[in-house]
Amino acid sequence: MHNQARLIVHGGAWSIPDEYVDAHLNGVGKALSEVFPKLQKGMSAMDGVEQAVNILEADPTFDAGRGAFLNEIGEVELDAIIMDGQTLAFGAVAALQNILHPVSVARKVMEKTEHTFLVGAGALSFALKMGFEELAPQALLTERELAFFDNIKNQKDFKTHHPFEFQPRDTVGAVAMDLQGNLAVATSTGGTARKLRGRVGDSPIAGAGAYADNELGAVSATGWGESIMKVILSKRVCDDFLHKEAMDAAKSSIKYLEERVKGLGGVIGINAKGDYAYAFNTKRMARGYVQNGELVLAIDH
């Protein structure tokens, strides 16, 4: 038994403007302060990351669940993954529509099917079979995203990685270690702005958007998915945990992302010893963790 649980969460790595800083820190702080005490009382790391991500999915500040980006035709398509570091089991969904908590559908894929990954209409019909509520498409839309979509929909030179440099975009993720020493990770996103219909990014891809292995550590990534997938970012940090200090592992993988593929993004993680790690090469990354009973929230470098 460890006597301290661990929980670290992120709310996206972007050039988050000053006026959105408080909403990001409050959202991240809420997830930590609601979930950490339960982990400390013995809740499993899997339940911890699912519950933390559920709180962030419901918060319209973030690009996950409610508040997600709109694709090229103005629809919301959600991607999520959850992974258990004890067994390496994971479940994932992609291009899922009209469901508030895709990470919980991902968990059902893991626990109730022989598969690991369901997409699109198949993922939705599975979710309904599992008792999730199908929302009207408007229920996940926010005015912020509609206005942003109106602004970019006809821009000829628009590229999906531009918002990472210029606009707030906020995938969410959580990594936990429970009192048994088990690690788990969850990542959930609406993807990127004006993405093609059916586009899937790094977030639901095991190894890219998330990875957890009790023997290495666990990591959730955020940022420009097309670059993150090229370097299998989360698994790379986990592998680096074996022979580097936790923070160094995160920093060197972000450096590699930047130098090798001109990527943009950030990671959070916990190594097998329980040390926290984070790094990002965007202007800001909303993040927080609990250290010795204290809530630590940060957004700048």
The residues, any chain, with a CB within 8 Å of residue 279's CB and separated by 6 or more, are 247, 250, 251, 253, 254, 266, 267
> CB of 54 within 8 A of CB of 46?
no
Which of 6, 66, 108, 169 is close enough to bind ligand ASP by CB under 6 A? 169
Q: Residue 71, interface with ligand ASP (CB under 6 A)?
A: no
In the numeric block, which tokens belong to residue 223?
């940022």
Minimum Å distance from CB 160 to ligand ASP? Answer: 8
| Residue 167 vs 180, nearer CB to ligand ASP | 167
Among the listed residues 160, 171, 187, 192, the single catalytic one is 171
Q: How much of the chain is helix, strand and coil, in % rounded to 5?
A: 35, 25, 40
- Token pair 């970012």: residue: 233
Minimum Å distance from CB 43 to ligand ASP? Answer: 26
Minimum Å distance from CB 144 to ligand ASP? Answer: 15
Which of 27, 85, 201, 269 is close enough to bind ligand ASP by CB under 6 A? 201
Bridge partners, 300 (sequence order): none
- E strand segments, 67-148: 78-84, 90-96, 117-119
Q: Residue 288, interface with ligand ASP (CB under 6 A)?
A: no
In the numeric block, which tokens belong to residue 273?
């010893």
Minimum Å distance from CB 96 to ligand ASP? Answer: 13
| Residue 202 vs 213, nearer CB to ligand ASP | 202
Region of 74 (left: φ > 0; alpha: ψ -120 to 50; beta: rest) is left
Q: Residue 182, interface with ligand ASP (CB under 6 A)?
A: no
| Residue 24 vs 169, nearer CB to ligand ASP | 169
Q: Residue 61, interface with ligand ASP (CB under 6 A)?
A: no
Q: Residue 223, interface with ligand ASP (CB under 6 A)?
A: yes
How far apart are the C-alpha atoms of 239 and 63, rounded to whole Å?
A: 28
Backbone angles phi, psi at 36, to 5 degrees: -60, -45
| Residue 182 vs 189, nearer CB to ligand ASP | 189
Which of 51, 222, 234, 281 is close enough to bind ligand ASP by CB under 6 A? 222
Query: How many residues in the shown chain lie near ligand ASP by CB under 6 A?
Result: 14
Which one of the spans 29-37, 189-197, 242-250, 288-296 is the region binding ligand ASP (CB under 6 A)?
A: 189-197
Minimum Å distance from CB 78 to ligand ASP? Answer: 10
Strand 217-223 relative to strand 265-271, pairing = antiparallel
Which one of the spans 53-61, 110-118, 200-208, 231-239 is the region binding ligand ASP (CB under 6 A)?
A: 200-208
How far apart are the C-alpha atoms of 277 and 252, rounded to whole Å?
A: 11
Q: Residue 227, interface with ligand ASP (CB under 6 A)?
A: no
CA neighbor of 208 nearest in space, from 242, 185, 241: 185
Residue 171 designated active-site: yes
CB count in 10 Å sphere of residue 116: 16
Angle between helices 45-58 and 102-112 (to 10 degrees): 150
Rg (CA), the chain: 17
Residues across the chain: 301
Which of 71, 171, 253, 281 is close enough to bind ligand ASP by CB under 6 A? 171
Write out the catalytic residue numbers: 171
Binding region for ligand ASP (CB under 6 A): 12, 63, 169, 171, 189, 191-192, 201-203, 222-225
